[in-house]
Structure 1
Amino acid sequence: MLYEPFKAPNIELMLGLPNPDLQRIASSQANANAWVQSNVKQFGNVKFRYIAVGNEVKPSDSSAQFLVPAMQNIRNALNSAGLGSIKVSTAIDYGVIADGSFPPSKGSFRGDPPSPQVSDPPLSYQNLFDANLDTVYAALEKSGGGSLEIVVSESGWPTAGETGTSVDNARTYNNNLVQHVKRGSPKRPGKPIETYIFAMFDESNKNPELEKHWGLFSPNKQPKYDINLN
């Protein structure tokens, strides 16, 4: 079984609902209930922390109109199944951030990327991860959502497919990421950033070539490199 290695009590998973399923789930509470029963409820020994409904849905996408209704139906389905502790979210496309949202304190959402090091007094940034995160925090604050917490639903590094991709680079990035998020961002120092590594497995059927090689594991379930998650 796919989830068998992840039954340990200290392992938490985020489960994604694919974009092609949004309309079906949004159109029927019964469909949402069935999805939760088949993909979540029956795996009682696996600790699912989040359901990510859709992935990087743009406001201009035809599926955008189904995103919020699908999230609401999944929320209702989880509650009905006695799984109310599982949170429902979505992975946003960074295109929802307005042009000119840099430095991070200038962050705002659209009405309808930075250099390796930048100063945003009194803060300074040395990587895109922190800069992008704090840009979204600034946009939330300006929209009245400053109390909301951001979960980084995916960050990672591919092992092949483009210049700069290798097993060594992926190992270095992901191991450093685990340690980095413990310290928080410049805007919220000392507050660990809940972060999920993308991805668990390589996806050999995806295109372009770069998209095939983000996994910590090969499709045969063998680890591609060592990673310390502590």
Structure 2
Amino acid sequence: MMILVRMNAPIILQFVTPLLILLAKPTGSVPVGVCYGRVASNLPPSSDVINIIKSNGISRIRLFNADPEGLRPFSGTGIELMIGIPNEVLPTLANGMISTSINWLQSNIFSQVSPTQVRYLAVGNEVLLKDTFYSQYLVPAIRKLHLALQTLGLADKIKLSSAHAASVLSISYPPSSGLFDPNLLSVMTPLLQFLSETGAPLMVNVYPFFSYINNMRYVSLDYALFKSPFPEFDQSLGYDNMFDATVDAFIYAMEREGFVGIPVVVTETGWPTAGGNAASAENALAYNGNVVKRSLNNLGTPKRPGIGVEVFLFDLFDESDKGGEEVERHFGIFKLDGHKAYEIGFN
């Protein structure tokens, strides 16, 4: 496949550095993280939540907001965290001095948990589609935060990125045709440049469930659930599930813009247990169980075999107060009493 080169970017940064990142990636299994959404009024006490997480061998958690009530219980637990920086904070960080970002990080995050527990900062969530007003502030805020982390001596430890919906791709099928929405490139291109420079991953939210529900005429349930008996071939690569196809579509889309080797982290993926068509504990186990198995076995995708995809399953518990369709409130892997909604393992 032809690789497009952005002539205004240094070749070494664009190609050699990301390639070295890939070559240096460890060959062991990739731990599976879980999202801890807290849009609910009936969640278990924090001490019980930590016990559930640790007793099930879960070592990474994604928190969507840097609020003290959510962060403080994780202090000293050894659990690695992905912490979200809300969309509405982006203008303040983008327009402020580096000291503004330093103060925000210290006041909102590092005063609650040690920097050693922070693996990622997810700056904004689905900004390009959900909160377009903040799009112009996304990359400037990320760069200010990076300078702040450099000042604090934490830039090598904590990686900065931003989570995006799969619909930032205007073309996702077949995977080799993956293409970012041209209307979003004014933000996506400088973001990819930053990720390439710093070795940070592209963060994407991938939901084959919704792809199936919204395109049942073209997408089979078996393909969404990793149960397809026959692979679909694209440039000699065989795809038997939508998860791999979607991740590879992002990889091809990045290459099409001249960026090779940027890792992909799936910041949200999951399957509901109730509330709609195909939503059941059986299907949730089939989907999430296969996602876990692929990460733990370091399978990777057809385009990047043997390079395990880091994932964060959605969600720790059902979120009773979420808006939208009923199905949105039934992604919980655990019941409120700590028992599993279905028998999934994490190690």
What is the match of residue 21 of structure 1?
89
What is the match of residue 142 of structure 2?
71
Between the aligned partners of 1:31 and 1:215, the Cα distance in structure 2 is 36
**Does the aligned pair in 2 maintain the 1:157–1:174 contact within 8 Å?**
yes
1:211 Cα deviation after fit? 2.4
2:285 match: secondary structure: helix
1:65 Cα deviation after fit? 0.8
What one-letter code is carried by the residue in structure 2 that aligns with 1:135?
A: A
Between the aligned partners of 2:329 and 2:239, the Cα distance in structure 1 is 30
Matches within 5 A, 1:195-214: 195-208=311-324, 209-214=326-331
What is the match of residue 124 of structure 1?
238
1:112-149 CA deviation, whole Å, 9 max, x = no partner?
A: 26743522131111111100111111111121111211
What is the match of residue 227 of structure 1?
344
**Does the aligned pair in 1 maintain the 2:268–2:313 contact within 8 Å?**
yes
Does residue 1:140 correspond to 2:254, yes or no?
A: yes
Greater relative contact order structure (CA < 8 Å, 6+ sep)? 2
What one-letter code is carried by the residue in structure 2 that aligns with 1:103?
A: P
Between the aligned partners of 1:73 and 1:80, the Cα distance in structure 2 is 11
Structure 1 unmatched ranges of 5 or more? none
1:20-49 CA deviation, whole Å, 9 max, x = no partner?
A: 332233232444333312343120186221
Q: Would you tell me which structure has more helix in proportion to its own residues?
A: 2
Cα distance, 1:165–1:34 mapped onto 2, change above 3 Å: farther
Does residue 1:105 correspond to 2:176, yes or no?
A: yes
Does residue 1:157 correspond to 2:228, yes or no?
A: no
What is the match of residue 57 of structure 1?
127
Does residue 1:191 correspond to 2:321, yes or no?
A: no
Cα distance, 1:214–1:6 mapped onto 2, change above 3 Å: farther
TM-score (norm 2): 0.58
TM-score (norm 1): 0.84
Cα distance, 1:106–1:20 mapped onto 2, change above 3 Å: same
1:194-224 CA deviation, whole Å, 9 max, x = no partner?
A: 1111233433322113222323345x57354
Between the aligned partners of 1:110 and 1:160, the Cα distance in structure 2 is 32
User: RMSD between aligned alpha carbons?
Assistant: 2.7
Cα distance, 1:214–1:81 mapped onto 2, change above 3 Å: farther
**Does the aligned pair in 2 maintain the 1:183–1:190 contact within 8 Å?**
yes
**Does the aligned pair in 2 maintain the 1:6–1:46 contact within 8 Å?**
no
1:163 match: secondary structure: coil
What is the match of residue 33 of structure 1?
102
**Does the aligned pair in 2 maintain the 1:167–1:224 contact within 8 Å?**
no
2:264 match: secondary structure: coil
Between the aligned partners of 1:168 and 1:34, the Cα distance in structure 2 is 46
**Does the aligned pair in 2 maintain the 1:54–1:90 contact within 8 Å?**
yes
Aligned length: 227
User: Mean Cα displacement is larger for which, 82-91 or 170-179?
Assistant: 170-179
**Does the aligned pair in 1 maintain the 2:75–2:114 contact within 8 Å?**
no
What is the match of residue 160 of structure 2?
88
Larger Rg over CA atoms: 2
User: Where does structure 1 differ by over 6 angstroms across 4 or more consecutive aligned residues?
Assistant: none
